[in-house]
C-alpha cells in the first residue's frame, strides 16, 4: 500500500479503512466484469493537486482564470481518445457513464420522444430506458430483447419494433451480454427510421482499443463509454461523435458539448480527466493490446471449463470479457452463490438471466469475467483453478472445512499476483 503519511496523521480511521480495502483487494479474486485495477500512474494523476481548481467551460473557452495547464490536460485527453478510437470529436468531461448517456438524450431528444434500448433483464443498462431510470421518466422508451431460444439479440423483432414506433434515438450496448454486437445491422435499422444511433461501449471499450472486439465507430453516430472497466482507467466517461454522426447532424458535437455543460454539469473534474489521459496513453501500447487478447482468452477458458462441469451458460459461451451463468440446474440462486463465494474471497455478482422467473433481488444467475484478474497477470492455468474453486464451493456449500480451505487457497493464489497500484 502506498504510504499515506499525512492521511495517517490526519484521519487514522479513513487510513485504516483504505488499508483494509487494499488488503482485501490483494487477497481476493475480483471476477465482477465491470471492475478492474488501475496502474500506479493513473492513481497518482487521480490523487493530484488538479482536484483544487474549477474549470467550467472547455479549452480556450473557460469562465475562470488560471486554467492554461488544465486546457493542456483536457486537449491531450481529447487527442488521445480521438486517435485511439478513430473519431473526430470527443468530450471527456462526463462524470460517469450514466451522466454521459443522459447527455446524449439531452442533446438528441426532447421530453417524451420515443427511444429504444436493450431491456435490462436481457442484458441492457438502466440508462437505456429501464422503467425506474431518468431515461424512462423523461422519454418514451421502447425496449427490445433477446430470442428466448438462443438468448441472442432478436434483430428481426427489433427492426419490426423500430419500424412501428419510429424512435428518435436507439441505444446499443449491454452490461450482461457475452456476444459480439452486430453494429452494421443496428445501423441499417437506425437509418431506416432516421434515428440517432448511440453505442454504449462501457464494458468493451478496452477490448475495442486492443482490437479484439469489433468497433462500432464506422456504423454509429455517437459512442459513449466509461473509462474504467476494460479500459482500466479511473471512474469517468467520454462521449464521442463519429464521422457518420457529423454527416447526419453537423451540429451534433456542439449539441453534445452544450448538453454536458452547461446542460447537466458544472465544473469538470480535471484530476479525473488527467487520469483518463494517462489510461488512454496506456491503452495505445502494444502491451495493452496483449492484455486485451489475454482477457478474451481467459474468458473463453472460463466459459469452456464451466461448460465441462455441467453449468448452463447464457448463449453457451462468450466472445468478450464476461459470462453469464444460469444456476437453475445447480439448485442455488444467484444471490446465494454470490454470498457463498464472497466467503472464500471470490467476488462475482448476482445477475438476472433473460426471462428470469426470480426477482432481481434474488435472480437465477451470476455474472463473472476476467478483466481484473488478467490485469494481475493470471492466465489459463489460474482460470482453470478458479473454476475448480467455484465448483467445489457451490457443490459443498454446507461444508465449513472446504469453505475455509478454499479461502486459504484463494488467498495464496492472489498473493502471487500483486495489484499494479500497490507499491
What's the number of domains the chain is made of? Answer: 2
152 and 184 part of one domain? yes
CATH number at residue 390: 3.90.1150.10
Q: Of residues 62, 80, 179, 229, which has the active-site annotation?
A: 229
Q: What is the pLDDT of residues 240-272, one digit of tens each?
A: 999 999 999 999 999 999 999 999 999 999 999
Helices (H), 259-333: 270-283, 286-308
- At residue 280, the pLDDT reads 98
Is there a catalytic annotation at residue 339?
no
235 and 142 both lie in a single domain = yes
How would residue 1 be classed by pLDDT, with cut points 50, 70 and 90? very low
Residues 315 and 408 in one domain: yes
pLDDT tens digits along 380-410: 999 999 999 999 999 999 999 999 999 999 9
2 band by pLDDT with thresholds 50, 70 and 90 = low
Q: What is the mean pLDDT of residues 49-55?
A: 96
In this predicted structure, the answer to whether residue 351 has a pLDDT above a threshold of 70 is yes
**Mean pLDDT over residues 287-311, rounded?**
98
Q: Which of 38, 115, 175, 226 is catalytic?
A: 226
Q: Is residue 166 part of a domain?
A: yes
Residue 403 CB burial class (10 angstroms; 0-12, 13-18, ≥19):
middle
Average pLDDT, the chain: 96
Residue 30 lies in a domain: no
Q: For residues 121 and 206, state if they share a domain.
A: yes
The secondary structure of residue 168, as a DSSP letter, is: S
Does position 4 have pLDDT exceeding 90, yes or no?
A: no
Instruction: Report pLDDT for 216.
Output: 98
Largest CA distance in the chain: 65
11 catalytic? Reply is no
Q: What is the CATH number of the domain that holds 90?
A: 3.40.640.10
Catalytic residue of the set 15, 54, 95, 155:
54
Q: Any catalytic annotation for residue 56?
A: yes
Range of the domain at 201: 44-283
Compute how many other C-beta atoms are within 10 angstroms of the C-beta atom of residue 65: 6
Residues 165 and 104 in one domain: yes
Q: Using H for helix, E for strand and C for coil, what is the string for 329-380? A: HHCCCHHHHHHHHHHCCEECEEECCCCCCCCCCCCCEEEEECHHHHHCCCCH
Same domain, 298 and 273: no
| Active-site residue, 328 included | no
Q: Is the pTM of this model over 0.75?
A: yes
First and final C-alpha spacing in the chain: 6
Q: Is residue 28 part of a domain?
A: no
Instruction: Tell me, yes or no, if 15 is annotated catalytic.
Output: no
Query: Is residue 224 annotated as a catalytic residue, yes or no?
Result: no
**Is there a single domain that holds both residue 98 and residue 230?**
yes
Amino acid at each position: 500500500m502506498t504510504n499515506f503519511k499525512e492521511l495517517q496523521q490526519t484521519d487514522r480511521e479513513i487510513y485504516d479503512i483504505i488499508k483494509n480495502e487494499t488488503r482485501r483487494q490483494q487477497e481476493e479474486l475480483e471476477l465482477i466484469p465491470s471492475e478492474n485495477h488501475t496502474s500506479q500512474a493513473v492513481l497518482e494523476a487521480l490523487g493530484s493537486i488538479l482536484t483544487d481548481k474549477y474549470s467550467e467551460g472547455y479549452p480556450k473557452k473557460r469562465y475562470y482564470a488560471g486554467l492554461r495547464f488544465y486546457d493542456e490536460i483536457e486537449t491531450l485527453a481529447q487527442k488521445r481518445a480521438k486517435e485511439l478510437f478513430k473519431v473526430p470529436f470527443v468530450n471527456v468531461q462526463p462524470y460517469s457513464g450514466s451522466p454521459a448517456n443522459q447527455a446524449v438524450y439531452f442533446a438528441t431528444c426532447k421530453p417524451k420522444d420515443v427511444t429504444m434500448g436493450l431491456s435490462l433483464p436481457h442484458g441492457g443498462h438502466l440508462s437505456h430506458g429501464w422503467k425506474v431510470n431518468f431515461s424512462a421518466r423523461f422519454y418514451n422508451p421502447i425496449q427490445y430483447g433477446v430470442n428466448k431460444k438462443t438468448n441472442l439479440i432478436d434483430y428481426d423483432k427489433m427492426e419490426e419494433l423500430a419500424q412501428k414506433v419510429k424512435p428518435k434515438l436507439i441505444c446499443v450496448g449491454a452490461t450482461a451480454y457475452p456476444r459480439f454486437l452486430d453494429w452494421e445491422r443496428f445501423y441499417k435499422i437506425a437509418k431506416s427510421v432516421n434515428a440517432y444511433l448511440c453505442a454504449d461501449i462501457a464494458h468493451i471499450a478496452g477490448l475495442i482499443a486492443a482490437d479484439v472486439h469489433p468497433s462500432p465507430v464506422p456504423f454509429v453516430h455517437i459512442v459513449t463509454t466509461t473509462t474504467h472497466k476494460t479500459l482500466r482507467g479511473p471512474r469517468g466517461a467520454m462521449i464521442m461523435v463519429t464521422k457518420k454522426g457529423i454527416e447526419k447532424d453537423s451540429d451534433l458535437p456542439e449539441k453534445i458539448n452544450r448538453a454536458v455543460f452547461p446542460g447537466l454539469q458544472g465544473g469538470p473534474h480535471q484530476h479525473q480527466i488527467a487520469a483518463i489521459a494517462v489510461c488512454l496513453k496506456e491503452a495505445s501500447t502494444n502491451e495493452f493490446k496483449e492484455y486485451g487478447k489475454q482477457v478474451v482468452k481467459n474468458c473463453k477458458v472460463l466459459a469452456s471449463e464451466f461448460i465441462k462441469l455441467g453449468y448452463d451458460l447464457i448463449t453457451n459461451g462468450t466472445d468478450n470479457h464476461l459470462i453469464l451463468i444460469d444456476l437453475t440446474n445447480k439448485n442455488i440462486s444467484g444471490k446465494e452463490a454470490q454470498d457463498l463465494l464472497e466467503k472464500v474471497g471470490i467476488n462475482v455478482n448476482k445477475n438476472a438471466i433473460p426471462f428470469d422467473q426470480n426477482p432481481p433481488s434474488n435472480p437465477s444467475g451470476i455474472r463473472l469475467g476476467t478483466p481484473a484478474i488478467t490485469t494481475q497477470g493470471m492466465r489459463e492455468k489460474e482460470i482453470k483453478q478458479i473454476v475448480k474453486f467455484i465448483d467445489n464451493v457451490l457443490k459443498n456449500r454446507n461444508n465449513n472445512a472446504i469453505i475455509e480451505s478454499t479461502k486459504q487457497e484463494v488467498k495464496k493464489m492472489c498473493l502471487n499476483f500483486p495489484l499494479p497500484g500497490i507499491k
